[in-house]
Structure 1
Amino acid sequence: MAFDIHQLHAFTTIVSAGSLGRAAIALNVTQPALSRTIKRLEEQVGAPLFERHSKGMQLTDIGSVLLPHATLMQRESEHATEEINAMRGLAKGTVRVGAVGSIACHILPLAIGRVFAKWPKLQVQVVEGVWDRLADALTKHEIDLALAVAVSDTDEITAIKDCRWEDYSHVVAATNHPLRQKRRLRLADVSDAPWAIAPRGTGPFEHMQQVFAANGLGLPNIVVETRSVTVLKSLVSQSGFLSWMAEPMYEADRKAELIDALPLPGVKRTRMLTAFRRRAGILPGPAVKLLEELRALTTDDVH
């Protein structure tokens, strides 16, 4: 069954808008014209896609099955058109990438800068988040590359084996934190101080938990859990909190003499980072350009 991309666009717009009237306005067409478009799609499918109510349009079971496929086909069509036009010099291509906080703070901006220097017509869309958010965005075609801590491949997502690198994580504090005055500082000494860290279930939290467990300690005094890198660094630099961070995340703050690792012997930990892509389909050209720069930047980090 071959679908018309314009009909699928009309279908997904009605779902997003919630009513035929609002969708018609969004698409700049009349309601009767939009209604005819959906009727032709329903005739092709062989079943109703919506239940019409006075308050709007509700998906039928068959409509619910069609929706993710329609969304995927629409995005693939948009990506293909965009990439072809970019190659013909008619439009700007778009790099769609997601990254965890530490990569978004350091490696990714460097790679984007290199790409833009060579391909100034390209645009970039960045999603920052923890792995679950990035994996979801990758499978839904919201992004084409995800940059995160190395994890096992899945049926839908695979690591790009020749694009991986290491970084190091530490217990960090403001450069004027009182604990810096203590001689022979140990990990047990930082447990009672107030901590701010990424939430339970995230990579940084689990990494930190492993470090304390390896030293025979329970969790420290976690007061704040947040996914915001900005909030975390502000709590550390301005409010006396401790945290667990990868070096790239606070590199600029270290140079500004705001945040630095605490002198805790043997507490530094290594983690492997990598790029991920969808197993199925072709990696779009703009994403390939970013991947090439990431490889160039990170090659020395794995040796």
Structure 2
Amino acid sequence: MTFDEKKLRAFLAVVECGSLGRAALAVHMTQPALSRVIKEMELRFGLPLFERHSKGMVLSAAGEGLVPHARLLLFEMEQALDTLDALKGLRRGVVRLGAVAAVTRSIVPRAAAKLLKEAPALRIDMLEAPDSELIDALVSRRIDLMIAAELPPHEEVMPVAECRFDDVYTAFCSTSHPLTRHVDVDLDRVMAESWIMPKSGSTPRTLFERLVRQSGRALPVIAVETNSVGAQLSFVAKGRLLGWLPHVLIESELASGAVRLLTISELTLHRRFFVYRRRRGSLPAGTRQLLQFLPLVRAEAGMAAFAPPFPQL
């Protein structure tokens, strides 16, 4: 079967949207036209790609098998066009970048501004998410580069370089919280309070629980769970919950007097950040340009702990 970009995008739109109606809007087609494209693909394959239900469409076994190849084919098509445009001097294309919140609000905006000044025809598709979601996005080719804290070895993801940027997780509370009336606040006192934290299993939550256990204390009451940084800040500033976030994410609230740091040595954690890519394939031209503007520590200066050696960009 001959694949073309329109059919691949139509197929993946139905996969991501779960229904013909929503997918048709996403790819700017009418619903009957999109339905015809999917049926034509199924006839050519001789297999159903979806199971039709009253509430939407679910991938069949054949559809599940096609998804990674469809994403790869689209990625290679786009990368080929980016390369040709770069050779023509057009510098067009999309930079697909993912990063954790602390990075999207610090080094990424500065690097992006420099990139767009040099190549204004580029577009940046930015994903802010926890580490686990970023890894999934990188492996599935929804992003081409990710910036996150140090990760355990992964068979499909590898580090490129370390960022010249670090941050520190800090406990904090509202300026009206009763704890602020005490000169010294120790770990036992804050462990007796209720907290707002990211959901269980997320990297920040895992790090927090590890620090508490290392101190020999029992975990505190987690009254509210949310991965939303904005919600965590709001709940702490306007109530009696304690929070634990990277310092860079609470700078504005500290400056406005909405929250106050709680200097608890056992709950203070410094983090280093690294740039990661897929182990296989090359980076699009626009993504390579972005790397030039990130504050990187080159591999030979501080990445000897990682294996295998870093590839040439």
Query: Normalising to structure 2: TM-score of the pair?
Result: 0.78
Question: How many residues are matched?
Answer: 296
Report the Cα distance in structure 1 between the residues aligned to 2:33 and 2:99, rounded to whole angstroms.
41
Report the Cα distance in structure 1 between the residues aligned to 2:271 and 2:34, rounded to whole angstroms.
58
Describe the SS at the equivalent of 1:293.
coil
Describe the SS at the equivalent of 2:295.
helix
Residues 169 and 269 of structure 1 are in contact (CA less than 8 Å); yes or no, is this contact kept in structure 2? Answer: yes
Q: Report the alpha carbon displacement of residue 130 of structure 1 after superposing the two structures with TM.
A: 1.1
Q: CA RMSD in A?
A: 3.6
Q: What's 2:47 paired with?
A: 48
Q: What's 2:215 paired with?
A: 215
User: In percent, how many aligned pairs have the same letter?
Assistant: 27
Residues 10 and 34 of structure 1 are in contact (CA less than 8 Å); yes or no, is this contact kept in structure 2? Answer: no
Report the Cα distance in structure 2 between the residues aligned to 1:245 and 1:52, rounded to whole angstroms.
43
Q: How does 1:1-303 map to 2 (within 5 A)?
A: 3-12=3-12, 18=19, 26-27=28-29, 34=36, 38=40, 43=44, 45=45, 47-50=46-49, 61-85=61-85, 88-90=88-90, 92-163=92-163, 165-265=165-265, 267-296=267-296
> Structure 1 residues 173 and 231 mapped into 2: Cα distance closer, same or farther (>3 Å)?
same
Q: Which range is displaced more, 81-90 or 269-278?
A: 81-90
Q: Deviations over 1:168-198 (max 9, x none)?
A: 1111123443312213220111122221111
Report the Cα distance in structure 2 between the residues aligned to 1:36 and 1:264, rounded to whole angstroms.
58
> Structure 1 residues 86 and 246 mapped into 2: Cα distance closer, same or farther (>3 Å)?
same
Describe the SS at the equivalent of 1:111.
helix
Q: Deviations over 1:4-52 (max 9, x none)?
A: 44543454456567559x869944698599569936x854x5x334479
Describe the SS at the equivalent of 2:154.
coil
Which consecutive residues of structure 2, in runs of 5 or more, have no partner in the other structure? 303-313
Residues 193 and 221 of structure 2 are in contact (CA less than 8 Å); yes or no, is this contact kept in structure 1? Answer: yes
Residues 165 and 298 of structure 1 are in contact (CA less than 8 Å); yes or no, is this contact kept in structure 2? Answer: no
> Structure 1 residues 26 and 216 mapped into 2: Cα distance closer, same or farther (>3 Å)?
same
Q: Report the alpha carbon displacement of residue 137 of structure 1 after superposing the two structures with TM.
A: 0.9
Report the Cα distance in structure 2 between the residues aligned to 1:54 and 1:133, rounded to whole angstroms.
28
Report the Cα distance in structure 1 between the residues aligned to 2:145 and 2:38, rounded to whole angstroms.
38
> Structure 1 residues 60 and 226 mapped into 2: Cα distance closer, same or farther (>3 Å)?
closer
**Match of 2:171, as an amino acid?**
V
> Structure 1 residues 242 and 59 mapped into 2: Cα distance closer, same or farther (>3 Å)?
closer
> Structure 1 residues 267 and 58 mapped into 2: Cα distance closer, same or farther (>3 Å)?
closer
Report the Cα distance in structure 2 between the residues aligned to 1:277 and 1:32, rounded to whole angstroms.
34
Q: Report the alpha carbon displacement of residue 204 of structure 1 after superposing the two structures with TM.
A: 1.4
> Structure 1 residues 93 and 87 mapped into 2: Cα distance closer, same or farther (>3 Å)?
farther
Describe the SS at the equivalent of 2:141.
coil
